[in-house]
Structures are given as C-alpha cells and as structure tokens.
Structure 1
Amino acid sequence: MPENRRQAEVLWPRLVANKLFRKPSGSHAFVADFPMAAEHDDFDQFDGGAAPAAEFVDDDCSPDADADSCRRVKRPWPRQRENKTLKYRLFTSTWNVGGVAPPDDLDLADCLDTRNAAYDIYVLGFQEVVPLSARNVLGADKKRVGMRWNELIRAALNRSSAAPPSSHDQRDAKGGGGETTRQGPQKVHPVRRDGGGAELARDYRCVVSKQMVGILLTVWVRGDLSRFVRHASVSCVGCGVMGCLGNKGAVSVRFRLHDTSFCFVCCHLASGGRDGDEAHRNSDATEILSRTTFPRGHSLNLPRKILHHDRVILLGDLNYRISLPEAKTRLLVERQDWKALLEYDQLRSEVVSEGGAFRGWSEGAVTFSPTYKYYPNSDTYCGGGGGAQGRRKGEKRRAPAWCDRILWRGEGVKQKQYDRCESRLSDHRPVRAVFDVEAEAEAEAPRNLNSLRSFFMSERFDGARSAAADLLRKDDYTSSSSARFGDTM
C-alpha cells in the first residue's frame, strides 16, 4: 500500500501537467470489437465472431506528420466509378446519468427500443458516468465504469426479441431522398433464424467506445455492416476547469461508412441557470468545433474538422435553460405549453438567430417534457410539488429545462423520431432520436467487367493459358527444328 501511494504521488504532477497543457495523452486511443481496414484494401475486415473489446490507436499519420510521408501509399489502379445511395436507420441517444453507477439489473431494452425495432447503427452518448470530483477530473479515466455501460449495451442490443422488429429494407434504397414509411414488419438484417424459424441472437459490434472523465461515447453497428466501416478515430476536447480539463467538453468520433464520412459529437457544456451563463455554453461549443481535430490517416481526403464531414450529429447535456422566471417556467410546464416555453429556450435561439453558436444546425420538434431536473427515483421536478417534495434546505434553485438535446447538420439526414425515455436513475431523463441517413457506395462493376474478371480468376483461364503455352512451345520447337534443318542443308 505505501508503494502504491508513493507511485500515485509521482504520477499526480504528470497527470495534472498533461491536462493543463492539453497534452493529448491517449486521446486518439479507443476501444472497439474489431480493427479497422485500411482504405482501398482489396480484402475484407476481420469478420469473425464478437471478439473481446480491444484498444486501437489511429496513428498511421499523425496530424503533424509530413504530408509527403502520407502520400507514399499504394494507390489503386484508376477506374471509372458509379455510386449508389444506400439508406440506413440510425438510433441516437444522450443521457446524463448523474455519476450513478449502473446497477447490475439495469435493462436498457426500453431506452434502446430493441423490443419494437432494430436499427443499423446505434450512437449512444453519456455524461457524468463518474462523479465530477477533483480526483476523477485530474486523475486517470475510470474506464471500468465505461466498460460496464458497454456490457449492458451489448446485452440489450444482442438479445433476441419475440416481437417482430421493424427496420428499413436495404433493397428498397434506390438513391432517392424521400422519407421511408413503416408499414408493418420488414426485413431486418441483424436478426437470424435457424432452420425451424426460431429467432437467434442479434449481432451488433462496437465500432468505437471512448471515455473522457465522465463523457462516454459509444457507437455500435450491425455485424454484417461492420466490414464497410473504415477509418474510425476519436478526438477529445476539455473545456472545464481552466478551460482545458475534462469535466466539461466533448468526445467526438468519426468514421467512413462506404464512401461517406460521419461524425458524432457527445458534449457536456457549462452548467448554470443565471443570466449570462449561456455565454459560457456558447464559448464551450465554439471551442469544441474549433479545437476538435482528427488524425490525418493514410488518405489526405479524410476530413479533420467536425464541420467538414458529410453527416454530423451532435448530442449531449448542452445545459441550455429557459430564459423565464422560475415560477413562470413551472407554470408553463404544468400546463404542458411547450410552444410558449420554446420561445424562451436558449438553445433554440442559438440555432435560429443570426450569429448563434449553433447557426446552421437543425433540431426536430420538441414535444416532450423538460428533461432536467428531477429528484432521483422520482417523477417530480426539484423544488416543485410542495410538502416533502418542496425545496429542501440548502438546495440550489433549478427550474425545469431541456438540457439534453440532439442536433444534426448535413445533407442526407432526416429525423424520424425525437422523444425521451422515463428511466429514473438520475436527475436527467434520456433523450433519443431516430434518423434515416444516406451513404454513398460504389456500385457493382458492369456485367461485362465482372465476366472478364471471373474468367481471369477461374480455372478456365488457367486451362486456356496452359493451352496457349503448349501451342507456343510447339511453335518454338517447330521453328527451331526448321532452323536446324536449314543449317544442315
């Protein structure tokens, strides 16, 4: 024990210095179920069973590497490409769990909607997975808590369901931008059935899981879709104490699905309900968008900034409040007059106003109750209700607000659902959104090229090559014989 204490005392200044000077200590390392395939590889990714989560580092070409060294890679033979548009269903969720460790019997099936539908991609963001104490902020990340959340997510996603799931049919994607309709059960890729028709377990795999202090962002895809996910990488930006510690900030994930770049940002912005606190949140958002930088990777056409990606979704505890007196806010909440409340919603103002921090982003219609702040294990907002549920001694004033939000930007993204869940684990309610997203993919080669390729790769080509070789040998023998006969004459 004394030896461990002395070791901690030695490491403590180093950890503080790394965080204060924004040294990216392991900021590009993440956890995944399988390694990413390199761009332009002619082989598929590892496609075995669900392997134990491993840690990978995207450091093929660091952001500061010489550009010429990144160009010295094998390029494919140029060919004319024809693209097609594929549509996928994307499930996103954000939840501030208030530093409460997940109980062993926590069932995420309802929050992830696994009993009613199966989606192609799941993007799940959490805030305060650990209490934001000085030890957790300045010390090493408590990865064991993040691993526990991933275990619960894996159990919920890969559990078979008796209810007929509903999802898009990949064959129906014809490249259009129209909305899809849900008209009864459709084909669902991750659900397999045995010879008797019984449903087998679903197969979802973790693409990326990254934790920074209390912020956890984890991305899951169908097992058969994982081979098309390439160049996954992460970037962490701390905006907390002294503007650099990770008690506030964002974890961002990017990858390419087929030929389309996706970026997901999980934020926890500055808190506070006093006048002027929204300026701190705006500053955090600006810092995150400007400081987030992804590794270059092998290919120079990979976007490095958040806004440079084709499809971007930002979620998290953004902490924006309602600019009304507390009594007025509670009255409108009791009346469920969401339209009147949203006129004073700080985030909505930043989205629609000229020069707002989120100008150019989109958000679906908010038709659910404010998600903050509840008494834990209760449906009562803090400070409301009177009596035993009234404001307690020493309790801070916290009016209800929509702190937990999901925004997006980019073409090829259409929101189909936006609501909240009713888990009582923390003082926040989870918020989820479902999107139809488009991804560009290279179409199959023309039929004549496929036929030519199959011929050269088949035994027929070997036979023809052997016959041609025999004929050449025969011609050589005849020519040499004729020459010798001429010399003899």
Structure 2
Amino acid sequence: MGENRKAILPRSVTSKPLHCQQLHDHGSVSKVLSVVAEDLGKRPLNGQKEKFVCRVFASTWNVGGIAPSDDLDLENWLDTRANICDIYVLGFQEIVPLNARNVLGPTKSCISAKWNLLIGEALNKTERKGGAQLNQESINSSAMESSMQGFRCIRSKQMVGIFTSVWVRSNLRPFIHHLDVSCIGSGIMGCLGNKGSVSIRFMLHETSFCFVCCHLASGGKEGDVLLRNLDVDDILARTWFPGRATQQLPEKILDHDQVVLLGDLNYRISLEEAETRSLVQAKNWAILLENDQLLFEFSRGRHFEGWQEGLITFSPTYKYHPNSDQYYCCFDGARGEKKRAPAWCDRILWRGKGLKQIQYETCSYRLSDHRPVRAVFHAECDISEGEQK
C-alpha cells in the first residue's frame, strides 16, 4: 500500500481548509472494509427502496509520457490482494508526450491498449503465456481474455494524453446501463486536447455516476491559478451526455447523483520556491496546506461549491526526479531549465448523496515525476422495484 494507510472519513471542505479537519484513525482500509463487508450488498437501509452498496476505487496518475514496460506490475497500485472493490475508475494524464505531433495528429491507441492490458492482468491476476513480447494482436487477445474473467473493462477513452478506463466486476455488468463518454479539449487555442477532460458516465441500478478525468492548465506563475479555475468551469459547462426520449437522464456533470473528479489539477503552493522546498524537507504539511491553491479556492467559496476532498496526509505528489524519491528541486538542473517546487497537483474530489470516501493516499510508483493518488468510496445505489422482486 501507499505511504498512508489511514481511512479518511469524508468532511466538507467548502468552509475551512482540509488540514484543520479531524483525522479519524481506523487503521488500513482493508481492515475497515472487513468490518463492514458483511453489511454490503443488496439490503434495505431504512427506506422504501432497497440499496445496493458497492465499493469504488478511483485513481489518477500523470505518467509523464512514459510508456509502461511489459512487466510493469500494477497490483500494488490497484491493491488487488485486498480484493475489496467492485468498480475501478483509472484516470491517466500524459500517456503520450504532449508534443505537436501527438496533439495535432492521430491518437496513438496502442499505448492506451497496453495500459488496459496491464490493468486487466492485475485485476484478474492473469499471466502472459510464454512471456511473449507485447504487440497489438497480443494486446487485443489478452484484453479479450481478461474481460471474460472477474473484472471487465466496460468503457475506456483516450483524448491525446488523457485516458480514462472503467472496470467492473462481471456480475455487476448486467445492472449497468446508459454508458456514455464526453471529451472536452481546453488546451492550445482553448480547444485542443493537450489539456481538458474525459468523462464517463453510467447508471448502476437506478443511480447515476459520472467520473471526470482532468488535466488542467499548468504553470506556477501568478495568475495561472485563474486559468485552472476557468478550465474547471469550462469542463463543467461544456461536458454533455445524450438524453433519452423514453427516460429522463442527467445530461450535465453536476446533474448526476454521484460525481468523482480526479486528475492532474495542477494547483500549486503559493509560496516562494525556496520556502516551499524548505518546508517540504521538514515535512511541514500544515503550513504548506495553508498555502495550497486548491484549498484556498475551496475557502473562498467561488469555485468547487458542493465538492469535497479527503484529508491530505501524504507528501506532495509532484515533481519527483525520475526513478527517485527525491524532489526535482533538490537537483541542479541544466542552465535555463525551470525549477518546479513540490505541490499536490494530483487530486480526487467528489460530490453526491450516498457517496462516502474511506481512503485517500498515494502510491510509491516511480515511473514518472508524479505519484499516483487513489481513493476508495462506499457508494449507495437505489434498486428499482422490479429488481427487488
């Protein structure tokens, strides 16, 4: 597991900074879930309708344009040994380098297919036969085999470097319907896909879910935070899902019952680089969080109204030196190269009745200059009268 195994109970962050919230220590998420596991599933919850309670794993990872190796083991990231989750929502940024060829040219789907293969193998604990080298044919074949086992990929979508992949237990698939995707480019010229979002929505039983994977405007200059705020507003305004003439369905992100927004949101720490570096070395998260741009936007109440985020108890997720646990600012870069101070760029937010976060932490993968961030939720779903019989 990651560096923090504490289960975090959800608390609203629209009125005060997260670092002031109380941390409830219940041990590891696996232990928490073992206590309540027998209560999960189809059961009445003091209401006229029955509820289905499932566990949702959501994670974001900026992989810095680095393709995964054939033997990259994702079991630790996905915590598959605990075997506690029913739905996996995985959001990537920069699965390809964000150069002009990739931004303006055709999508390189072989990289996203390779990620899906590795995810399927980790979730279903499959093994490649004979250790053959990966190619497009073997990727497609292995992904097909994985889909017939415990977990199935119900939808994945790539827009330039942003990639979202949703996996569910096979026994849940018959109850998922109205599966749709919406992509918004907000990068170069305000429309290209080097920045933006890939959103996937579906109905599970009678409850609507929407998962939004974002890569917002970068930069540590004064005023860059306003660009990130505008990106979020643009994504929420422009993302649209098709309705149905025979059934009223949510068409906008905020219309859904339960929403998770994750990604490289790129919010930084509003301190001088040298002071940030010193506080990071001292692991003084409290002072750093007081100056976290995203938490400041929460406290102002002008953005992210109604959204929540778990208590941050982990190290800043960016920017690490490649294949190292040391931050980039600790190394002498080339002349003229920008120094980037550490920050909590990678975040997971949520909103909606019946959604409760029980875990929020990082993982120690060193593939890129970002660390993946993951969360686990309990999600209550309404069951229709026809299904109750």
TM-score by length of 1: 0.64
Please give the alpha-carbon distance, in whole angstroms, between the structure 2 residues aligned to 1:112 and 1:241: 33
Superposed displacement of residue 443, structure 1: 4.3
* Residue 185 of structure 2 is aligned to residue 243 of structure 1: no
Q: Are 2:378 and 1:433 equivalent residues in the alignment?
A: no
* Contact 1:296/1:302, CA 8 A, preserved across alignment: yes
Unaligned stretches of 5+ residues in structure 2:
1-46, 128-147
The total of aligned residue pairs comes to 323
Residue 63 of structure 2 corresponds to residue 97 of structure 1 = yes
Give CA deviations for 1:410-444 in whole Å, capped at 9, x if unaligned. 11111100000011100000000011111000246
Task: Confirm whether residue 85 of structure 1 aligns to residue 48 of structure 2.
Answer: no
Q: Which residue of structure 2 aligns with residue 349 of structure 1?
A: 296
Q: Residue 383 of structure 1 contacts residue 392 of structure 1 at CA under 8 Å; is this kept in 2?
A: no
The partner residue of 2:73 within 99, 107, 119 is: 107
- The residue that corresponds to 1:215 in the other structure is 162
**Which residue of structure 2 aligns with residue 290 of structure 1?**
237
Q: Say if 1:263 and 1:313, in contact at 8 Å, map to a contact too.
A: yes
Q: Is the 8 A contact 2:329 2:342 kept in 1?
A: no
Does residue 126 (structure 1) correspond to residue 92 (structure 2)? The answer is yes
Q: TM-score, normalization: structure 2? A: 0.80
Q: Determine if the alignment matches structure 1 residue 370 to structure 2 residue 320.
A: no
Q: What amino acid is the match of 2:370?
A: H
Provide the rounded CA distance (Å) in 2 between the counterparts of 1:137 and 1:391: 27
Deviation at 1:300, TM superposition (A): 4.0
Mapped pair 1:148 → 2:90 = no
Aligned residue identity for 2:321: Y
1:354 Cα offset (Å): 2.1
Amino-acid identity (%): 59
The residue matched to 2:222 in structure 1 has which SS?
coil
Gap change, CA 1:420 and 1:432, over 3 Å in 2: same
Shift of 1:336: 1.3
Q: Shift of the alpha carbon at 1:155?
A: 0.3
- Structure 1 pair 229–445 and aligned structure 2 pair: CA distance change class (3 A): closer
Which secondary structure state, in structure 2, belongs to the residue aligned with residue 383 of structure 1?
A: helix
Alignment CA distance shift 1:445-1:340 (3 Å): closer
Distance in 1, Cα, partners of 2:370 & 2:382 = 37
Matched AA of 1:85: K
| Dislocated runs of 4+, deviation >3 Å | 297-300, 443-446
1:229 corresponds to which of 176, 188, 193 = 176
Q: Assess if the C-alpha contact under 8 Å between 1:255 and 1:262 holds in 2.
A: yes
Contact 1:375 1:427 in 2 (8 A): yes
Q: Which residue of 2 aligns with 1:273?
A: 220
What CA deviation, in whole Å up to 9, does each residue of 1:223-246 have, x standing for no partner?
000100000000000000000000
1:75: which partner in 2? Answer: none
Kept in 1: contact 2:277–2:329 (CA 8 A):
no
1:418 matches 2:365: no
* Residue type at the aligned position of 2:270: S
Q: Does 1:301 align with 2:243?
A: no
Greater C-alpha Rg: 1
Give the letter for the 2:336 counterpart: G
Letter of the 1:121 counterpart? I
SS of 1:137's equivalent? helix
Matched, 1:404 2:351: no
The separation in 2 between residues aligned to 1:141 and 1:251, in whole angstroms, is 14
CA apart distance, 1:202 = 5.6
- What secondary structure does 1:287 align onto? helix
Match of 2:285? 338
In structure 2, C-alpha distance between the alignment counterparts of 1:209 and 1:91, rounded to whole Å: 16
Q: AA paired with 2:308?
A: S
Alignment of 1:457-472 (within 5 A): none
Distance 1:332 1:445, change over 3 A: closer
Other structure's SS at 1:405 match: strand
The structure, 1 or 2, with the larger RCO (C-alpha pairs under 8 Å, 6+ apart) is 2
Please tell me the residue identity of whatever aligns with 1:97: V
Is contact 1:350–1:359 with CA below 8 Å preserved after alignment? no
Letter in 2 for 1:308: D
Whichever residue aligns with residue 91 of structure 1, its letter is F
Aligned equivalents of 1:223, 1:117: Cα separation in 2: 14
Where does structure 1 lack aligned partners over 5 or more consecutive residues? 1-80, 162-200, 451-489
Residue identity in the other structure for 1:90: V
- The CA RMSD over aligned residues, in Å, is 1.8
Q: Measure the CA separation in 2 of the matches of 1:119 and 1:160.
A: 18
Give the distance between the partners of 1:299 and 1:317, measured in 2 at CA. 37
| Aligned pairs (5 A) from 1:18-57 | none
1:274-322 per-position Cα deviation (integer Å, ceiling 9, x unaligned): 1110011011111000000011235441000000000000000000000
Deviation at 1:393, TM superposition (A): 2.5
Residue 238 of structure 1 aligns with an amino acid whose one-letter code is: G
What do residues 23-48 of structure 1 show as CA deviations (whole Å, max 9, x unaligned)?
Answer: xxxxxxxxxxxxxxxxxxxxxxxxxx
Q: Partner of 2:329: helix, strand, or coil?
A: coil
For residue 400 of structure 1, what is the amino acid of its counterpart?
Answer: P
Which is further off, 294-303 or 437-446? 437-446
